[in-house]
Amino acid sequence: MKFDINEFIADSLIVSLPVDSLHRHQKLQLKISDDRDLPGRIIGIRTSKKWHYIPVDQYILLQSDLAAVLQTYFQRDSVDFSGTLYVKNLHHWNDDKPLFNKGRKLNAYTVLEDSSGTLLGDWIWEYTLKPKKKQKTEIVIGALMDRWLTEQVTAVQSQNFHRNIYPYLFRRQLMNWWDFVILKDGFIVNAHLTLDFPADQQASWVRGAPGIFYRKARYHQSIAIGGKDQQWYARMNKHFIHRLNITGRFGFNNFDSAKYDYLDFWNVFLVNFSVNAAIEYRPVYLKGLFFGIGLHGSVNLLPEVIDRVEPGLLLTAGIIIP
C-alpha cells in the first residue's frame, strides 16, 4: 500500500442539508454563480486533530456543489425570478473573542443582478450558533448553512434588496479605536485592535475585542493587557450607532512610595470590571475616522486602597480600514 502524504495531512468533513434528498427538475430562471476562490463543494477549511494529536487540514464539504444546493433551495420554494445571484464569499470559523457569544460563525456576501445585468442589491450575512454539548461540528455548520440559504431565498423572493451596495472588497476590516475616560483623579486609556467582517447591513451585532488598559491616578498607575470583553452594537440610523460593552480584566499596579509607606502584597494586582455606554458617529460603510461620547463605570476589586466604584466620562475615537 502506497503512503500518500496528501491524504495523511488532509481530511474532510461532510455537511448534510435538508434539501440533499430532494430531486427537483423544474427549470429555474434565476442563475446561480459561485464566484468564490474555491467554488464547488468546499465551503471551508479548518484545522482538526488526526488520531487526537496530529493537526491536519480538514475540508468542509457539501454533498453537492454550492451553486446546485442553492438552486435546489430556490426550486423547493418555487421562486419565480429572472436574473443571476452571485455568491462572492463564504467563511466558516470559530469566534471565541466575545465573552458570552462564543460559537461557530458564518459570514457570507452575495450580489443579485436582473436578467439585463443591472445590479439590484447585495447582502452581507452573519450568523453565530453556539454548539450544544457534544454536538458534532458538521451538524452546527449544517444548521448555519440551512439558515443562510433559506433566508437568502426569502430575501430574493420578497425582493428585499439592499440598494446601497457595499463599496469595498468583502473581507475582514481593520478597526482600531481608543476609549479615553476622564475620572475625578485621573484618566483611563483603553486601546483596541480587531479584524472582523463588516456588519453595516445589520440592525445589531456582537463583537469581542480585549484591549490594552492603562489607568493613571494621582498616587498610582495600573496596566492590563487582554481580559474578557464583549461589545453590543445597534444601529440608530445611517449615521449613528450605540455601543454597550463590559470588560473583566486582570493587571498590575504601581504606587507612589511617598504616599504609601506599606501595602499588602495583593494590592500589586488589578482586578476590575467596567461598563461603557456610548453613542458613536459611524456612518454605514464608513472608511476612515469615527468618534463618540458616553459614560463609564468601573468596579475595582483590587487594589483595596482606591475607590471601589469609579464613574467617568467616556470619549472614543477610532479608524476603520475596509
* Residue at a domain's end among 127, 157, 187: 157
CATH number for position 121: 3.30.160
In a domain, 210, yes or no: yes
Cα 281 off chain centre by: 20
* Residue at a domain's end among 157, 188, 216: 157
Bridge partners for 213 per DSSP:
190, 224
- Asked whether 235 and 253 are in contact (CB, 8 A), the reply is no
* Residue at a domain's end among 133, 157, 181: 157
Residues 111 and 14 in one domain: yes
In a domain, 186, yes or no: yes
Residues 211 and 85 in one domain: no
Residues 237 and 103 in one domain: no
Determine the Cα–Cα distance for residues 166 and 88; give it in Å rounded to an integer.
12
Q: What is the mean pLDDT of each run of 10 residues along the chain (322 residues)?
A: 48 90 78 96 86 80 96 92 97 93 96 96 97 94 98 95 93 98 97 96 95 95 93 98 97 92 92 98 98 98 94 99 98
Residues 191 and 310 in one domain: yes
**In the prediction, which pLDDT does 24 show?**
66
- Phi-psi category of residue 51: left, alpha or beta, with phi > 0 → left and psi -120 to 50 → alpha: left
Residues 141 and 12 in one domain: yes
**In the prediction, which pLDDT does 241 show?**
99
Could you tell me the pTM of the whole model?
0.91
Secondary structure (3-state) at 136: coil
Residues 229 and 309 in one domain: yes
Domain count, the chain: 2
**In the prediction, which pLDDT does 17 show?**
96
**In the prediction, which pLDDT does 3 show?**
42
In a domain, 165, yes or no: no
In a domain, 168, yes or no: no
Residues 292 and 148 in one domain: no
- By DSSP bridging, strand 240-255 and strand 288-302 are unpaired
Per-residue CA distances from 6 to 12, 14, 48 (Å) = 12, 18, 15
**In the prediction, which pLDDT does 244 show?**
98
Residue 191, burial from CB neighbour count under 10 angstroms (0-12, 13-18, 19+): middle
User: Any idea of the CA torsion for 203, 208, 210, 211, to the nearest 10 degrees?
Assistant: -30
Bridge partners for 55 per DSSP:
49
Residues 139 and 181 in one domain: no
> Helix 137-157 vs helix 66-76: angle between axes, to the nearest 10 degrees?
60
Residues 9 and 80 in one domain: yes
In a domain, 163, yes or no: no
Q: Which domain holds residue 203?
A: 173-321
In a domain, 43, yes or no: yes
CATH number for position 278: 2.40.160.20
Helix (H) or strand (E) holding 10: strand 10-15
- Asked whether 168 and 302 are in contact (CB, 8 A), the reply is no
**Residue 296 corresponds to which amino acid?**
H
Residues 229 and 304 in one domain: yes
